[in-house]
Structure 1
Amino acid sequence: MNLKYRGKTKDVYELENGHYLLKFKDDVTGEDGVFDPGANTVGLQIAGAGRAGLKLTKHFFEVLQEQEIPTHYVDARLDEAEMIVKPAVVFGDGLEVICRYKATGSFMKRYGKYAVEGQDLGGFVEVTLKDDERQDPPISADALDVLGILSLTEYAQLKALTKQIGDVVKEELLNREIELYDIKLEFGKTETGEIMLIDEISGGNMRAYKDGVYIEPLELERLMNEA
């Protein structure tokens, strides 16, 4: 395997057949030892977080696969915390797309003058640039188009896919009486230009609550796999 990239929560290797291997780590994003899916730094390590994240990711990607929603998922090896994926071309140096159902986290930090914690946002979609130096700034559809990162047509497709995927995850969580507040997704393009979901869907990139109480990533995996 050829190491291509060391990420905050995953390392990426290129395989001989052209696919890629994602090695999930126990590192999670946050600040001052507190987990935060919207943070752009590693805040702490949680033993077993990598495997738990992959287990949830495998579940959600296979649900999306059944609904013929395009993703980069090929296969997963839970014991090794590894996932095999198709190659993808990212937009610019990478975008993060957040689907927000309830106001919390960075949304409240930016818009707390007008928003109330837990306020219903109806699946509001926002895009931020992956740019640690500038604290992952939010960016509009017009700015993405002007800068040549994403066309307006591609933005419309990205937004529709985000809401579709977010609603699938939201419904899956509701089956366990868990409420999704927000979820952070990443997208890329196939060699033929089709937009597809990449990266992961786990407790590490969403905020979920049960009976009004926030659920930590490992606890979310446990609750989702209860009989």
Structure 2
Amino acid sequence: MSNTITATNFNFPGQTGVYRGKVREVYSLDNDLLVMVATDRLSAFDVIMPKGIPYKGQILNQIATKMMKATEDLVPNWLIATPDPNVAVGKKCEPFKVEMVIRGYMSGHAAREYKAGKRELCGVPLPEEMKENDKFPEPIITPATKAEKGDHDEDISRENILKKGIVSEEDYVVLEKYTRALFQRGTEIAAERGLILVDTKYEFGKTADGEIVLIDEIHTPDSSRYFYADGYKERQEKGEPQKQLSKEFVRQWLISNGFQGLEGQQIPEMTDDYVTSVSERYIELYENITGDTFQKASLENIEDRIRENVEGFLTNYKDS
């Protein structure tokens, strides 16, 4: 659809490089700044879907920046400013090569592994006789290695992270502490909205002066799973699926159409009607998660808008 941004090719003042992730494109500048553009690309099972979703980048960027501001008293983060609805600007960091996944409930990937008979995930023992979507006695941390482009993220234990020297023990202790603190705050924020934060992932990096900070997105529907609190207990008792707010509805649509990102599988056709329905769902997610009414940014000349806003910010930042 023409009203989406699925790729960018900016050349900002002082630009030294660009990294293109599954959804975000990150421009490095020579003054230790990063310009992160949230595109409208949709990724599921580590595969980028063929069509963009209107407003998705704006939604993810605005939820992430709102949640970073709501947690900056607990954990320092990379964010400096948001000069455009799709853009965050922050401090350049060296990312840790692990994602810190934390789970409060037996859902998603954990539930699929449990159903397959596994009783340990990333070195963490799982209780017997749990049902899908049951709450864990305590949240568990199940890290994943950061995939190279085109590869799948892979589960890894704390023991193997330390053994392979992916993260030092000193730093890993901080990552665990920050992960638990963020999840607790995210759980409290969700509860105020009548939601349950089921599981999520956090990414961290180290600044030039050695400070560990939160980077990338936080508590968005792409990185997190939410349930509606109302009726959760009754649905569990009846063995019914939970009503949830996350990207899981896209995954389930793909699974029902024979796609799980495996070799030889074809991505099902995404009609314009389906793309519109996904966009509407993301807006619903935004409003439920934040409690704010979503303000749609203009979809005309999105790249020109981003370029003007970012260059205006950089000029003022340089002069300040």
Answer yes or no: same fold by TM over 0.5: yes
Q: How does 1:115-194 map to 2 (within 5 A)?
A: 115-121=130-136, 122-131=138-147, 135-194=152-211
Q: Percent identity?
A: 24
Q: Say how many residue pairs are matched.
A: 215
Structure 2, unpaired ranges of 5+? 1-11, 120-129, 231-241, 247-281, 294-320
**1 CA distance for matches of 2:195 and 2:74?**
25
Question: Within the alignment, does 1:208 sit opposite 2:211 as a pair?
Answer: no
- Among 54, 61, 67, which residue is 1:54 paired with? 61
Question: Within the alignment, does 1:88 sit opposite 2:77 as a pair?
Answer: no
TM-score (norm 2): 0.63
Moved more, 190-199 or 177-186: 190-199
Q: Tell me how far 1:194 sits from its aligned partner.
A: 2.3
Tell me the alpha carbon deviations over residues 141-167 of structure 1, each in whole angstroms, 9 at most, x when there is no partner: 221122121122222211111010111
Question: Within the alignment, does 1:29 sit opposite 2:43 as a pair?
Answer: yes
Question: Aligned to 2:222, what secondary structure does the other structure show?
Answer: helix
Structure-2 residue corresponding to 1:226: 292
Aligned Cα root-mean-square deviation (Å): 1.9
Query: Which amino acid in 2 is paired with 1:128?
Result: A
**1 CA distance for matches of 2:79 and 2:196?**
25
Q: Tell me how far 1:78 sits from its aligned partner.
A: 4.0
**1 CA distance for matches of 2:53 and 2:214?**
25
Q: Tell me how far 1:199 sits from its aligned partner.
A: 0.5
Q: How does 1:97-112 map to 2 (within 5 A)?
A: 97-112=100-115
Q: Tell me how far 1:200 sits from its aligned partner.
A: 0.8
Tell me the alpha carbon deviations over residues 23-63 of structure 1, each in whole angstroms, 9 at most, x when there is no partner: 00111321xxxxxxxx3222463211110111111111111
Give the conservation status (yes or no) of the 8 Å contact 1:203–1:218: no
Query: Which amino acid in 2 is paired with 1:101?
Result: G
Q: How does 1:10-25 map to 2 (within 5 A)?
A: 10-25=24-39
**1 CA distance for matches of 2:199 and 2:103?**
4
Structure-2 residue corresponding to 1:34: none
Give the conservation status (yes or no) of the 8 Å contact 1:141–1:152: no
**1 CA distance for matches of 2:202 and 2:183?**
9
**Which aligned segments of 4 or more residues in structure 1 are displaced greater than 3 angstroms?**
none
**2 CA distance for matches of 1:77 and 1:175?**
28
Structure 1, unpaired ranges of 5+? 31-38
Question: Aligned to 1:45, what secondary structure does the other structure show?
Answer: coil
Larger Rg: 2
Question: Aligned to 1:12, what secondary structure does the other structure show?
Answer: strand
Q: Tell me how far 1:72 sits from its aligned partner.
A: 0.7
